[in-house]
Amino acid sequence: MSSISYKSAWKSPSNIALVKYWGKKGMQLPANPSISFTLDNALSDTSVEAIASESQSGISVELYFESQRNEAFEVKIKGFLEKALSAFPWLNNHHLLINSTNTFPHSSGIASSASAFSALALCLCSIDEQMKGISDPAFFEKASHWARIGSGSACRSVYGGFNLWGQTTALNGSSDEYAVNIDDIIHPVFKTFKDTILIIEKGKKAVSSTAGHALLNAHPFADIRYASGFKNTELLLEVLESGDLDKFIQIVESEALMLHALMMTSPTPFILMKPHTLSVIEKIWDFRNQTGLHLLFTLDAGANVHLLNPESENDRVQEFVKNELVGYCQNGLYLCNAVGNGPIKTH
């Protein structure tokens, strides 16, 4: 007799932060609010099968990444599932079979924890609904909450468009526990934004994001940073509503460089930018001065550069990338993304 099983599959995207989450408190809560947009072309495609197993005691998980059993990921996911037991008690008597692939090139240096944990949390919430036989009106909030427990930035990936995570008086309904979608205040120009990710360096980062967050605990500038994060969230919300591209550029680039300045000034300093990262930034500033176009950059916790621009300027920007920037990319690799519509349920 075959055992009872439940299955769910989601394709869920990565996101790029405009105001950064860097520093945390309590149970994976952010020290300041952050704002991001969801990407359309950097996805994790994850399926989860929960197979009833009465004899089981404790979490049991088997994980295949890009079709290969991955024991290192199993350990990480098991740690996450232990925390999720309070919401999904059936994890104690169901064996989980997880299959996951990424649409972006393996080890391109693109943060995959946001897409991976958002996809996994969505699958768990869907299976939970199947088991209970009811649909949860707070489904996406719940998925965002559990994605956050897996990896903070993942909570901003369960919706499309623009999202805010972290409590701020500047937005009703905002929460430290989960992200909220803010598309209803977004000026149309931002909804067309492109994100061309220049792969300056592939592979694993020298310092993980989790270790980077921890360095903020004893950082001399931590409080100033958190205050700036709150202020920039407030300012960016106004700009996202008004469509003021010049102010947008100022806030987003300052956030990117502040993130890296924090790394460089932490008690155990480190530098994730590479010489090519700086060369690209200079090129972008020259290009902007010469053309008056609205091309800007942001960085996540790595050497790669995200080029952001409105769609109406994309032909000129792509020409610039091909003629002047591709030489700074490792093996000439860059990935074309735009503001995306968010996760898709495939099973």
Contacts to ligand DP6 by CB under 6 A: 17, 20-22, 28, 34, 111, 113, 151-153, 209-210, 213, 259, 300-301
Q: SS3 string of 104-128? A: CCCCCCCCCHHHHHHHHHHHHHHHH
Is 29 or 87 the residue whose CB approaches ligand DP6 more closely? 29
| Least distance between ligand DP6 and beta carbon 316 (Å) | 28
State in angstroms the smallest separation of the CB of 214 from ligand DP6.
9
Closer Cβ to ligand DP6, 115 or 330, answer by number: 115
Q: How far is the CB of 34 from ligand DP6 (least distance, A)?
A: 4
Residue 56 CB, shortest distance to ligand DP6, in Å, is: 28
Smaller CB distance to ligand DP6: residue 17 or 325? 17
Smallest separation, CB 323 to ligand DP6 (Å): 29
CB of 165 to ligand DP6, least distance (A): 8
The residues with which 165 forms a beta bridge, in sequence order, are 34, 179
Q: Least distance (Å) from ligand DP6 to the CB of residue 320?
A: 25
Please say which residue, 153 or 266, places its beta carbon nearer to ligand DP6: 153
Q: Minimum distance between the CB of residue 150 and ligand DP6, rounded to whole angstroms?
A: 7
Identify the residue whose tokens are 């989450």. Answer: 21
* Nearer Cβ to ligand DP6 (6/117): 117
How far is the C-alpha of 130 from the C-alpha of 174, rounded, in Å?
28
Closer CB to ligand DP6, residue 24 or residue 94? 24
Measured between its terminal Cα atoms, the distance across the chain in Å is 24
* Minimum distance, C-beta of residue 205 to ligand DP6, in the bound complex (Å): 10
The packing angle between helices 113-132 and 139-150, to 10°, is: 140
Residue with tokens 């530098």: 271
